[in-house]
């Protein structure tokens, strides 16, 4: 099985961990410490929250400021329109901010938000029945 690890630099590890836990992700203590939180999205998807110092060990150059420039769009699928709306509500209640209005494009419906560090997430439902 192939897995994906989304690595994100965060200014406040404790606050970011709480934000992602409020979205329903689980912290894996085996891969977490005072410099990193491994947040489990699914068996194949993990979000690695890294302090700026730790993140800097893995990159060349400077850490981009996600609040002033969009570097990447992280998108997760949803099983229904209600799940999209619920996810958005959880994100905003946990300290995230609105990014763009909800989108509806034919059989696709989604929302987007920024985490406390400005990283953009989209949640997208795709009606595969064509209806």
Question: pLDDT digit string (tens) for 7-27?
Answer: 999 999 999 999 999 999 999
What phi, psi does 28 have (nearest 5°)?
A: -95, 110
Nearest CA among 36, 34, 120 for reference residue 70 = 120
Q: Tell me the helices (H) and strands (E) count for the chain, helix number first.
A: 3, 9
Nearest CA among 107, 24, 66, 41 for reference residue 124 = 107
Mean pLDDT over all residues of the chain?
95
Question: pTM for the whole thing?
Answer: 0.92
Contacts of 64 (CB under 8 A, 6+ apart): 71
Residue 130 pLDDT greater than 80, yes or no: no
All structural domains of the chain, each given as residue ranges with its CATH number in brackets, are 4-56 (3.10.180.10), 73-126 (3.10.180.10)
Token code pair at residue 94: 């946990």
Give the pLDDT band (50/70/90) at residue 55.
very high
pLDDT tens digits, one per residue of 61-84: 999 999 999 889 999 999 999 999
What distance, in Å, lies between the first and last C-alpha atoms of the chain? 32
């Amino acid at each position: 099985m192939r897995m994906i690890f989304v690595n994100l630099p965060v200014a406040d590890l404790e606050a970011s961990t709480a934000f992602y836990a409020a979205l329903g992700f689980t912290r894996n203590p085996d891969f977490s410490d005072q410099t990193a939180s491994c947040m489990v999205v699914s068996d194949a998807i993990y979000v690695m929250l890294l302090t700026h110092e730790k993140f800097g060990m893995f990159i060349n150059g400077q850490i981009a400021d996600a609040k002033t420039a969009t570097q990447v769009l992280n998108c997760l699928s949803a099983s229904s329109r209600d799940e999209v709306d619920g996810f958005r509500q959880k994100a905003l209640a946990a300290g995230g901010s609105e990014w763009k209005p909800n989108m509806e494009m034919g059989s696709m419906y989604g929302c987007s938000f920024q985490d406390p560090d400005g990283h953009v997430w989209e949640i997208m439902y795709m009606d595969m029945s064509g209806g």
